[in-house]
Amino acid sequence: MTPPEPSTPSTPSAPTTPSETDAPDTIEVGLDGHADGWELVVGLEVHVELATATKLFCGCANEFGQEPNTNVCPVCLGLPGALPVLNELVVEYALRVGEAFHFDVPAQSVFARKNYFYPDMPKNFQTSQYDEPICLGGHLDVDGVRITITRAHMEEDTGKTTHVGGGGRIHDADFSLVDYNRAGVPLLEIVSEPDIRSSEQAKAYASELRATLEAIGVSDVKMEEGSMRVDANVSVRRRGSDGFGTRTETKNVNSIRSLGRAIEYERARQIEVLEAGGRVVQETRHWNENDGQTHSMRSKEEAYDYRYFPEPDLVPVAPTPEMRAAVRAAMPELPAARRDRLVAAWAITERDAAALLGTPGLADYAEAAVSALEALEALEALAVDGARGGSPRDIVNWVNGEIAGHLNETGSSPAALSLAPAALAELVGLVAAGTISRNQAKDVLGEALADGRRPARIVTDRGLAQVSDESSLGSVIDGILAANADAVAEYRAGDDKARKKKRGFFMGEAMKALAGQGNPQVLNRLLDEKLEGNG
């Protein structure tokens, strides 16, 4: 419905590469169809919507999904005479980002006007930062490789255009509607150097960036909703070459996975163009999730001259030493430290920890569930015969397994799950106590995710609770053994193979008698005792 138009501006200082690599004389083609003689070069421009209560320059609510043109005022509508006033919280968030990515934050930064006409931009200029951004020269370490981050700057978002009629694209629409609710929402644009050499690395960088932004609480980082938008500057060059190839900028990438796919597609496309003796055109391209391709967004590349100049309606931003110190003192744990802590505290693998941090909100969910589990066990420890044994690892297994799968399928977020973290802890407790088996727990989880009932309630409703009581199980087994004296005799006389078979038979009969709710561990033990013991 709403194809992104070139309204989200790209930075002026995007990694740019003037010279085009000459076509090679010989081509080596790998098994995957990619020419081995080529090296991929990627830089990422990430726009993050900051999760402030109000917009960048006015008091309008910064909310997603409201009725069109309800969160607007003279300032964010760019009405004649209206003036911007900087939201201090945005500066604080930018300082947090400065800390998290080891940026240099100069004594002052300056807003600038980026001038171009577009209907969803109320003033027909975007208030952004240009040659004096708030953050300069940071980095992010990804799997042992340091990716340099050129800059991060504050800017306002644009409105949103919807093209109605025809194919829903701008060219054949009957008319267009503009919603200015998003206009003036604070953005931070974070621009990396072209340091990335593979799509996997690009995904890891974007993922770590997202986890870090989430950890410092500056954004929802929802790629699907557009609160984090990743544009990929992709070029290829011959291996061993120092220069850069001509780059393209791919927009509309709505997930980390799509980022990898889009980069791979662009790499293959550019290599194909170059190997056919063509030239890569510097242009903006649009990733289409459905056909898995990038498409040129403009028939011919327009040379934009944004005529930047310092925004005369705002004064330079000069964070005080006190403000900087307060931000530094309040910095939360960053993902790398959190992964280390969880690995150590929960005895989980690096891979498990990385998976938790790879989905926004998932690690928080797991930590809440582990806390709930600990509280539960503390309570049960007070009770006589309180069953113990649920571990953080059990929680993580559920979270990274069934729950992550559910989130993938439904596109939901951990915070929105109808299964609260405490309910997951309850489920783990039920398994640990032997009340239900792990297989039963999967069904219970499925139902809990579907309708929000507590696991204990589902177990009761469905009569799932295992019979673990030794005297009842013992009398069931006694009855079966008595009714099948021949089989008992055969068992005792038989070889290992025969014994195993008979044992399976007794177990099956017992489960049949218990309608499948006998605790298998207890049944096994009692069978052993009764078959071997009183021979």
Partner 1 sequence: MSSSDSDHDRDHDRDRDLTSRSAAGLAAAVRSGEVSAREVVDAHLARIEALDGSVHAFLHVTADGARARADALDAQRRSDGPESLPPLAGVPVAVKDVLCTRGVPTTCGSRILEGWLPPYDATVVARLEASGAIAVGKANMDEFAMGSSTENSAFGPTHNPWDLGRVPGGSSGGSAAAVAAGFAPLALGTDTGGSIRQPAALCGVVGVKPTYGRVSRYGVVAFASSLDQVGPFARTVEDAALLLEAVWGHDPADSTSIPTPCEPILPGLERGVAGLRVGVVRELTEVDGIQPEVSAALEQAVKLLEQAGATLDSVSVPSAIYGLPAYYLIAPAEASSNLARFDGIRYGLRVVPGEPGSANAAAMNGATRHAGFGAEVKRRIMLGTYALSAGYYDAYYGQAQRVRTLIIRDFDRAYEHFDVLLSPTTPTTAFPLGDKVDDPLAMYLSDVCTIPTNLAGAAAMSIPAGLDGSGLPIGVQVLAPGLGEAVMFRVARALELGFGFAARARPGGPA
Question: Which residues in this chain contact partner 1 in the complex, by CB under 8 A?
Answer: 74, 77-86, 113, 115, 117, 119, 122-125, 174, 176, 178, 305, 307-309, 312-315
Shortest CB 109 distance to partner 1, Å: 14
Closest distance to partner 1 from the beta carbon of 60 (Å): 14
Indicate the residue among 61 and 77 with the shorter CB distance to partner 1. 77
The packing angle between helices 485-493 and 470-483, to 10°, is 90
Nearer to partner 1, 76 or 448 (CB): 76
Residue with Cβ nearer partner 1 (120 or 208): 120
Choice between 306 and 505, CB closer to partner 1: 306
Query: Of 69 and 288, which CB lies nearer to partner 1 in the complex structure?
Result: 69
Which residue's CB is nearer to partner 1, number 317 or number 522? Answer: 317
Long-range contacts from 275-282, C-beta under 8 angstroms, 24+ separation: 275/23, 275/24, 275/27, 275/35, 277/23, 279/20, 279/246, 280/20, 280/235, 280/236, 280/245, 280/246, 280/247, 280/248, 281/246, 281/248, 282/246, 282/247, 282/248
Q: What is the 8-class DSSP label of residue 515?
A: T
CA-to-CA separations, 166 to 2, 4, 163, 170, 273, in angstroms, rounded: 13, 16, 9, 9, 32
Q: Which is nearer to partner 1, 174 or 495 (CB)?
A: 174
Dihedral angle computed from the Cα positions of residues 102, 106, 110 and 115, in that order, rounded to the nearest 10 degrees: -40
CB atoms within 10 A of CB 104: 10
Contact residues for 350 (Cβ-Cβ < 8 A; gap 6+): 339, 343
Cβ at position 374, least distance to partner 1 in Å: 49
Q: Torsion over CA of 89, 331, 336 and 135, rounded to 10 degrees?
A: 50
Shortest distance (Å) from residue 449 CB to partner 1: 45
Q: How far apart are CA 282 and CA 70, in angstroms?
A: 38
Residue 58: HSE in the Cβ half-sphere, 13 Å Cα cutoff: 23
Nearest distance in Å: CB 251, partner 1: 20
- Please say whether the beta carbons of 16 and 43 come within 8 A: no
Q: Which is nearer to partner 1, 307 or 388 (CB)?
A: 307
CA distance 432 to 165: 58
**In the complex, least distance from residue 347 CB atom to partner 1, rounded to whole angstroms:** 54
Report in angstroms how near the CB of residue 313 gets to partner 1 at its nearest: 5
The CB-of-294 to partner 1 minimum distance in angstroms stands at 25
